[in-house]
């Protein structure tokens, strides 16, 4: 039983695939079919390119603030791949790869960071909630989703994501405590990328690991190598099934690293050393997963090159579409505050429309 | 005299009060080592040490709630919240405790606290990074609410806020943090809280604004250069308490009144100011007092932000309507 072996008080971290792409925990290697494995890899690869390009676009003044995901691909895709179709993903904000894997389109994601409200409108059937900026509050939303699933007997698990910094927030505790007291089908994944903007994880709490916080909720918890996609998949799979079986929530700490800045407005050289970044670059989740796939005979450098070219083109075309969408129109801005505009709002809309039509700015 | 921007002026005020008074502490998410996301507190930790200038976990209720305890026990906390939209997780402590302690303890525990944060739109930011929430704080008895528009005022008001015996909410118009510099004296000086400023004298209409809206009002007045309307422009500077005297005196002179606010319309500060004018200068009015405001909508993300904005053209249009009524 994983939860027993990796009891958070035992100071162990689950890992299966090491930095060289070798299996170090043979009995835990998951049996994932080739198609799924490749889908996981391709999502990570797309995420990496989309991320790099988003940063470039932002530097060119074509994109707004953007929160990069580089380095966290395995944690995100490992978690998403372990979910079943009917499950819900409830994100924080640094979730590009998990969102892509769960069916949110790159166009929608880019629209969001482009500053257009339609970027939070996902296609029918995509069970992903919009990006949540207010730190920690998504844990309560996810717990609520799980409550509804339980009493309506929907067999859906809610998977919520939060940063290491977010675990300082009241709602992290309130939400998990609520879910644990009702045995709700909720899995919370902490993406411990070591920093909350400039504040290192060690300054945010004295707890030795964030996984340990599970103990106080009376639920299982586990620390996992977040750059090891197989370990993430296995840990999340077990947690999600545990939650689905009615035993209550689980807390997973994905131990990972944000290779880029916090957002495009941030300068990480002010608060972290190059040496540290270089060390983590060697642990790049993409490199080790690719090696694993190549060793298995599922992938080749040649295919990788072709994929990169194809995805780069796709990302460029997607962004162009987003750019061409330009700005929203006035009605769009007014009509979603309520189901129906209130009389006051309607008057404000009409007055402003007239003002603009008559040449006002 | 050095010429500095609003951000630097606030940094100077914090620096000088930290030096002047050992009970002053400055803290918030990333406010210590890095100096905050806008760098308003940059350099202070290096100068005053990690006990007096420090980073906190991301937990706004802890940030505001700890200020209450610190102030009760002898400190003068200056707490930074990262953005206007993140005031709300800390709002419960501000409203249910910070604002009430003096009254609750019949004067035994007054709380000399400053809660400061960047406010308002115009920087093409994400959700929850662009709201004007002065109404929600100005409405709470027990709080003073300050909202400067210039570097000079920001420094003088910040020093007054830190020295004030009651909790002061200090709103920093982020849109003009770095734009627009002004001569600011090196030494400490104070601008009284609750005192508005007549920025431009005029005789046809009184226009009141604050924060970033002062710049927009000034642009509007420029647009009207050839219209032969003499505008008296007042910078409110403090949302609560309101400087009634300056406003009423001005309206008695001009007979016309317009409020410019970035905040959404319904129940906003404009409503309060107009009521005040009706109560105290009704017989002097020659036109219905009115307001130009943001709309009653969720502040749009960057691609729709301009629709919510109070643009100079809208202000100018309204000034004309009221002045020519
Ligand atoms: C309630 C609230 N307070 C402050 C912020 C500003 N803020 C945005 S991201 C961030 C740090 C988040 O750190 P962490 O939870 O570790 O996630 P990461 O950014 O590292 O993915 C902060 C403080 C916010 N978004 N919400």
Task: Kindly report, residue by residue over B140-182, the tens digit of the pLDDT.
Answer: 999 999 999 999 999 999 999 999 999 999 999 999 999 999 9
Residue B258: exposure state from Cβ atoms within 10 A (0-12, 13-18, ≥19): buried
* Residue having the nearest C-alpha atom to atom 20 of ligand 1: A196
Q: Strands A199-200, B24-28: parallel, antiparallel or unpaired by DSSP?
A: unpaired
Q: How far is CA B119 from the centre of its chain?
A: 8
Whether the per-residue pLDDT at A292 is higher than 80: the answer is: yes
Proportion of chain A above pLDDT 70, given as a percent: 100
Chains A & B: contacts with CB separation below 8 Å: 129
Q: Give residue B1's pLDDT.
A: 86
Give me B208's structure tokens. 């009141």
Whether the per-residue pLDDT at A361 is higher than 90: the answer is: no
Q: Rounded mean pLDDT of B196-203?
A: 98
Cα gap A274→A266, rounded to integer Å: 16
Q: Give residue A39's pLDDT.
A: 98
Task: Indicate if B84 and B175 belong to the same structural domain.
Answer: yes
Catalytic residue among A262, A283, A288, A292: A262
In a mutational test of the B interface, the residue from A133, A207, A335, A346 whose CB has the highest number of chain B CBs within 10 Å is A133
Rounded to two decimals, the ipTM of the complex is 0.93
Provide the CATH number for the domain around residue B315: 3.40.50.920
Q: Rounded mean pLDDT of B116-135?
A: 96
Number of C-beta neighbours around residue A336 at 10 A = 14
Task: Indicate if B25 and B145 belong to the same structural domain.
Answer: yes
Cβ neighbours of residue B27 closer than 8 Å, sequence gap 6 or more: B53, B54, B55, B56, B63, B77, B78, B79, B80
Q: Give residue A327's pLDDT.
A: 74
- Range with lowest mean pLDDT among A143-147, A330-334, A357-361: A357-361
Cα gap B182→B178, rounded to integer Å: 11
Residues with beta carbon inside 6 Å of ligand 1? Answer: A 94, 133-135, 163-166, 191, 193, 195-197, 258, 262; B 29, 58, 60, 82, 86, 89
Averaged pLDDT score across all residues of chain A: 96
A149 in Cβ contact with A155 (< 8 Å): yes
> Residue A159's beta-bridge partner residues?
A89, A187
Q: Give residue A328's pLDDT.
A: 77
CA distances from A199 to A262, B54, B312 (A): 11, 10, 40
Cross-chain residue pair A134–B128, CB shorter than 8 Å: yes
Task: Indicate if B258 and B211 belong to the same structural domain.
Answer: yes
Whether the per-residue pLDDT at A360 is higher than 90: the answer is: no
Residue B192: exposure state from Cβ atoms within 10 A (0-12, 13-18, ≥19): exposed
Cβ neighbours of residue B117 closer than 8 Å, sequence gap 6 or more: B80, B81, B82, B83, B84, B86, B87, B170, B171, B172
Asked if residue B280 belongs to a domain, the reply is yes
Torsion angle of C-alpha atoms B206, B210, B215, B218, degrees rounded to 10: 10
Asked if residue B191 belongs to a domain, the reply is no
Asked if residue B299 belongs to a domain, the reply is yes
Q: How far is CA A176 from the centre of its chain?
A: 18
Whether the per-residue pLDDT at A1 is higher than 90: the answer is: no
Tell which of B132, B153, B184 closes a domain: B184
Geometric angle at alpha carbon B157, from B151 and B160, rounded to 5°? 150
Q: Give residue B227's pLDDT.
A: 96
Q: Give residue B295's pLDDT.
A: 97
Cα gap A242→A228, rounded to integer Å: 21
> Per CATH, the architecture of A2-328 is what?
3-Layer(aba) Sandwich (3.40)
A142 in Cβ contact with A160 (< 8 Å): yes
Q: Quick check: A171 contacting B, CB < 8 Å? A: yes
Whether the per-residue pLDDT at B88 is higher than 80: the answer is: yes
Question: What is the SS3 assignment for A107?
Answer: helix
A132 in Cβ contact with B87 (< 8 Å): no
Asked if residue B317 belongs to a domain, the reply is yes
Averaged pLDDT score across all residues of chain B: 97
Instruction: Provide the domain count of chain B.
Output: 2
Residue A351: exposure state from Cβ atoms within 10 A (0-12, 13-18, ≥19): exposed
Task: Indicate if B283 and B213 belong to the same structural domain.
Answer: yes
Residue A297 is given by DSSP the state: T
Cα gap B10→B8, rounded to integer Å: 5
Proportion of chain B above pLDDT 90, given as a percent: 100
pLDDT bracket for residue A221 (50, 70, 90): very high
Cβ neighbours of residue B41 closer than 8 Å, sequence gap 6 or more: B11, B14, B26, B28, B31, B32, B35, B53, B80
Tell which of B184, B212, B236 closes a domain: B184
Asked if residue B279 belongs to a domain, the reply is yes
Tell which of B149, B184, B219 closes a domain: B184
């Amino acid at each position: 039983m994983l939860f027993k072996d990796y009891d958070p008080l035992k100071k162990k971290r689950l890992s299966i695939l090491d930095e060289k792409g070798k299996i170090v925990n043979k009995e835990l290697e998951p049996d994932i079919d080739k198609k799924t494995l490749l889908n996981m890899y391709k999502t990570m690869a797309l995420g990496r390119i989309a991320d790099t390009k988003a940063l470039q676009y932002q530097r060119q003044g074509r994109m707004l603030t953007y929160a990069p995901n580089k380095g966290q691909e395995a944690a995100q895709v490992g978690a998403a791949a372990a979910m079943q179709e009917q499950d819900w993903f409830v994100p924080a904000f640094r979730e590009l790869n998990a969102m892509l894997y769960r069916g949110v389109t790159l166009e929608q994601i880019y629209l969001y960071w482009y500053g257009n409200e339609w970027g939070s409108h996902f296609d029918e059937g995509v069970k992903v909630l919009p990006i949540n900026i207010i730190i920690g509050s998504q844990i309560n939303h996810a717990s609520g989703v799980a409550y509804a699933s339980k009493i309506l007997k929907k067999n859906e698990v809610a998977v919520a994501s939060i940063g290491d910094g977010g675990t300082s927030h009241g709602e992290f505790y309130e939400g998990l405590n609520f879910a644990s007291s009702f045995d709700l089908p909720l899995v919370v994944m902490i993406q411990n990328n070591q920093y909350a903007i400039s504040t290192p994880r060690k300054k945010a709490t004295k707890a030795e690991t964030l996984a340990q916080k599970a103990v106080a909720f009376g639920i299982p918890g586990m620390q996992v190598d977040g750059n090891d996609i197989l370990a993430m998949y296995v840990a999340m799979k077990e947690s999600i099934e545990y939650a689905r079986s009615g035993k209550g929530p689980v807390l997973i700490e994905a131990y990972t690293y944000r290779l880029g800045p916090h957002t495009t407005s941030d300068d990480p050289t002010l608060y972290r050393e190059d040496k540290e970044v270089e060390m983590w670059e060697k642990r790049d989740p993409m490199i080790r997963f690719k090696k694993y796939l190549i060793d298995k005979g599922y992938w080749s450098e040649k295919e990788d090159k072709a994929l990169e070219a194809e995805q780069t083109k796709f990302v460029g075309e997607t962004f162009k579409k987003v750019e061409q969408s330009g700005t929203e129109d006035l009605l769009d801005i007014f009509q979603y505050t309520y189901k129906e505009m209130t009389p006051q709002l309607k008057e404000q809309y009409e007055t402003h429309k007239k003002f603009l039509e008559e040449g006002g700015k | 005299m050095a010429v500095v921007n609003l951000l630097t002026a606030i940094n100077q005020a914090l620096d000088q009060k930290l030096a002047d008074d050992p009970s002053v502490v400055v803290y918030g998410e990333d406010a210590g080592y890095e100096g905050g996301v806008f760098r308003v507190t940059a350099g202070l930790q290096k100068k005053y040490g990690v006990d007096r200038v420090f980073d906190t976990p991301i937990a706004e209720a802890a940030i505001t709630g700890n200020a209450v305890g610190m102030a009760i026990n002898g400190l003068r906390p200056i707490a930074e919240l990262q953005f206007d939209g993140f005031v709300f997780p800390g709002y419960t402590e501000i409203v249910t405790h910070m604002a009430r302690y003096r009254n609750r303890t019949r004067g035994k525990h007054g709380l000399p606290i400053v809660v400061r944060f960047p406010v308002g739109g115009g920087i093409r930011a994400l959700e929850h990074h662009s709201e004007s929430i002065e109404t929600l704080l100005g409405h709470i008895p027990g709080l003073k609410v300050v909202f400067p528009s210039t570097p000079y005022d920001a420094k003088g008001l910040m020093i007054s806020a830190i020295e004030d015996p009651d909790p002061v909410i200090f709103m920093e118009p982020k849109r003009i943090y770095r734009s627009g510099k002004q001569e600011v004296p090196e030494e400490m000086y104070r601008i009284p809280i609750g005192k508005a400023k007549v920025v431009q004298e005029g005789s046809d209409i009184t226009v009141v604004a604050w924060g970033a809206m002062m710049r927009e009002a000034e642009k509007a007045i420029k647009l009207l250069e050839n219209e032969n309307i003499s505008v008296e422009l007042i910078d409110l500077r403090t949302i609560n308490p309101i400087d009634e005297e300056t406003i009423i005196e001005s309206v008695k002179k001009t007979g016309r009144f317009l409020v410019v606010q970035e905040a959404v319309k319904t129940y906003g500060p404009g409503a309060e100011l107009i009521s005040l004018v009706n109560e105290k200068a009704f017989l002097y009015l020659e036109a219905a007092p009115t307001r130009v405001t943001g709309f009653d909508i969720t502040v749009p993300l960057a691609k729709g932000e301009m629709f919510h904005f109070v643009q100079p053209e809208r202000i100018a249009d309204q000034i004309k309507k009221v002045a020519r009524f």
